[in-house]
Amino acid sequence: MTEQLHGLYVRDLRVSFDGFTAVDGVSLDVAPGDIRFLIGPNGAGKTTLVDAVTGLVKATGSVRFGDRELLGRPVHRISRLGVGRTFQTSTVFEELTVLQNLDIAAGARRGWATLLRRRHGVPDEVAEALEVIGLASRADQLAGTLAHGQKQWLEIGMLLVQDARLLLLDEPVAGMSHEERDATGQLLEQVSRDRTVVVIEHDMDFLRRFARTVTVLHAGKVLSEGTVAQVQADPRVQEVYLGHPVDAGTAPTATEA
């Protein structure tokens, strides 16, 4: 395991689809070990930004994780550099067990000799992840039978065993109960000790409790950046969210989504 933390450095990132510019010259720095929340109205370019960082869409500019340039590499190579992501809809392998899901996530560096043999026992990193995400008692259950929140945790657990050092989470608490949100937030705080975390989220209550820094995107550009309080006090943010500037402290609210 590479234990040192890396930051994410995005410079003048642009993504266009058929003339429509989804991400329009975004530059942002995420410090090593930060929990950065990306917020913004629908269509602001949050998910597209993550897509560009992970190699899913073509982009111009520069994205560095630590000192490695990510742009131009295929998806699976970027992943092997320690960049992991989740999706808005849960994408665990429903017909495999929790244990099999984690074992596959742990195995991208395995050679064919290991792949072609049967799994015996539970690898250490998988056992550890099962404890961290609280699914140890469900290791042999099919992932498709898990509750929604548990699937999201399994996704995060897959990033942990994958040894991702940069976690890009797309709406991890959407559809979760209050207890599940709390548990997820604590999980994020725990994993950020030796990882850098970027979260796309609409839930403002969740953001206030767990974000360390916030970037607000609007129409493909960075609108505002700073701590939760700084961003909330920014009149431009209030304008985007509410249509007109209001007193600091009341916006943004959890109405957008």
Partner 1 sequence: MTTVARDPVTAADPTPPAAKPAAGPSRHRFRAVAGFAFGAALLFAVAPLLLSDFRLSLLAKYLCVAMVAIGIGLAWGRGGMLALGQGVFFGLGGYAMAMHLKLADAGPGNMPDFMLLYGQLDELPLWWRPFASPWFALPATVLLPMAVAFVLGSLVFRRRVRGAYFAILSQALAAAMVILLIGQQGTTGGTNGLTDIQGFFGYDLDDPVNQRMVYFIIAGTLLALLALTRHLMQSRYGELLVAVRDGEERVRFLGYDPATVKLVAYVVAAGMAGLAGALFVPAVGIISPAMIGIVPSIEFVIGVAIGGRATLLGPVLGAVAVAWARTALSERFPGTWTYLQGLLFVVVVAFLPGGLASLVGLLRRGDGERRPGWLRRSRRTEAEAS
- Give the interface with partner 1 as residue ranges (CB under 8 A): 54, 74-76, 79-80, 84-85, 87, 91-96, 100-101, 103-105, 107-110, 112, 114-119, 128, 131-135, 137-138, 140-142, 144-147, 149-150, 153, 158, 162, 177, 179-180, 183-184, 186-187, 190
In this structure, are residues 82 and 165 in contact, taking their beta carbons and an 8 Å threshold? yes
- Residue 149 · residue 118 · CB < 8 Å: no
Question: Which residue lies nearer to partner 1 by CB, 39 or 83?
Answer: 83
* String of DSSP letters for 60-91: EEEEEETTEE-TTS-HHHHHHTTEEE--SS--
d(CA 34, CA 126) in angstroms, rounded, equals 25
Q: Show the tokens assigned to 92.
A: 């665990």
Minimum CB separation from partner 1 for residue 188, in Å?
Answer: 9
Shortest distance (Å) from residue 79 CB to partner 1: 4
Return d(Cα 106, Cα 230) in angstroms, integer: 39
How are strands ordered across the β-sheet holding 68-69?
A: 20-30, 8-17, 60-65, 68-69
Q: Which of 110, 103, 196, 199 is nearest to 152 (CA)?
A: 199
Q: How far is the CB of 246 from partner 1 (least distance, A)?
A: 36
CB atoms < 10 A from the CB of 11, how many?
14
Half-sphere exposure at residue 24, Cβ-oriented, CA atoms within 13 angstroms: 13
In the complex, the smallest distance separating the C-beta of residue 228 from partner 1, rounded to whole angstroms, is 22
Q: Which is nearer to partner 1, 43 or 175 (CB)?
A: 175
Q: Select 101 or 232, whichever has its Cβ closest to partner 1.
A: 101
Nearer to partner 1, 113 or 243 (CB): 113
Read off the tokens for 26.
């975004």
Least Å distance, CB 71 to partner 1, is 16
CB of residue 131 to partner 1, shortest distance in Å: 6
Whether the CB-CB separation of 198 and 167 falls below 8 Å is answered with yes
Q: Which is nearer to partner 1, 90 or 224 (CB)?
A: 90
Minimum CB separation of residue 127 from partner 1 in Å reads: 11
149 or 252: CB nearest partner 1: 149
Residue 178's Cβ-count burial label (10 Å; 0-12, 13-18, 19+) is exposed
* 177 phi and psi angles, rounded to 5 deg: -75, 170
The residue among 121 and 243 lying less far from partner 1, judged by its C-beta, is 121
